Structure 1
Amino acid sequence: MHEYSIVQSLLDSCDVHVRQNNAKKVTKVVIKIGVLSGVEPHLLNEAFEAFKQNSVCHEALLDINIQKVKVSCNKCLAESELEKNEFICPKCGSFDINVLDGEEMYLMSLELE
């Protein structure tokens, strides 16, 4: 389960931000997870709850935002969010598309105290 290593990296990053900002702890962690990232949000949340206890995030709330797949069409130039895992342009039906968002996980913000 790679969510454990992701959470450890997230906690390490939080620790760095706390030290850089002379804070005492993190109260909220906001992340964005793309549906194609391979990260299971519920498993990530469980891992965060388990590992945060001995960290600067011991009282932190984890806010997970799910990012749908966003694509751009090379034929009609439209940008769209896909509702299904069908990699075709919803506007013109072309398969000639580029994925713009929805494949990665980002730390969006931290609330520090």
Structure 2
Amino acid sequence: MHEMSLAEGVLQIIEDAARSQGFRQVRTVWLEIGPLAGVEKEAMRFCFEVVMRDSIAHEARLEIVETPGQGWCMQCASSVPVAELFGACPQCGSHQVQVTGGNEMRVKELEVE
């Protein structure tokens, strides 16, 4: 389950931000997760709760913001929505689609005290 290591990475980002910005408690964490990121959202929620125990984010609420999958079709030279890796272009049916978004996970925002 790689979500555990992802949650540990989120905690590291939180702790680094707390050191540099001087906050003591995290109330809410917003994560942007794209559909092509390979992150199981429910597993991420579980791992987040486990990893945040005994940290400055021990009571933090996790909000997951889903970002859309986007790609560039080389055949029809268009930006298109992408629902899966290696899927066909919804406009022309070509499989020459390069993913340009929706394959990332990032900490978007923290609500802190």
* TM-score when normalising by structure 2: 0.87
Question: Aligned partners of 1:77, 1:30: CA distance in 2, in Å?
Answer: 33
C-alpha separation between the residues in 1 aligned to 2:95 and 2:50?
42
Match of 2:4 in 1: 4
**1:92 alignment partner AA:** C
Point out where structure 2 has 5 or more consecutive residues left out of the alignment.
none
Aligned residue-pair number:
113
Q: Which runs of 4+ in 1 moved over 6 A?
A: none
- Please list the CA deviations of residues 66-100 of structure 1 after superposition, one character each: whole Å capped at 9, or x if unmatched: 23321111122221213466611111222221101
The residue matched to 1:90 in structure 2 has which SS? coil
Q: Is the 8 A contact 2:28 2:62 kept in 1?
A: yes
What is the identity percentage for the equivalent residue pairs of Structure 1 and Structure 2?
Answer: 32
List aligned pairs for 1:7-26, cutoff 5 A: 7-26=7-26
Structure 2 SS opposite 1:38: coil
CA distance in 2, matches of 1:21, 1:86: 41
Distance, in Å, in 2 between the alignment partners of 1:86 and 1:99 is 9
The corresponding residue for 2:108 is: 108
Taking only aligned residues, the RMSD between alpha carbons, in angstroms, comes to 1.7
Moved more, 24-33 or 80-89: 80-89
| Structure 1 residues 84 and 22: alpha-carbon distance in aligned structure 2, compared to 1, 3 A threshold | closer
Distance 1:37 1:64 in 2: 13
Structure-1-length-normalised TM-score: 0.87
Q: Which residue number in structure 2 is paired with residue 66 of structure 1? A: 66
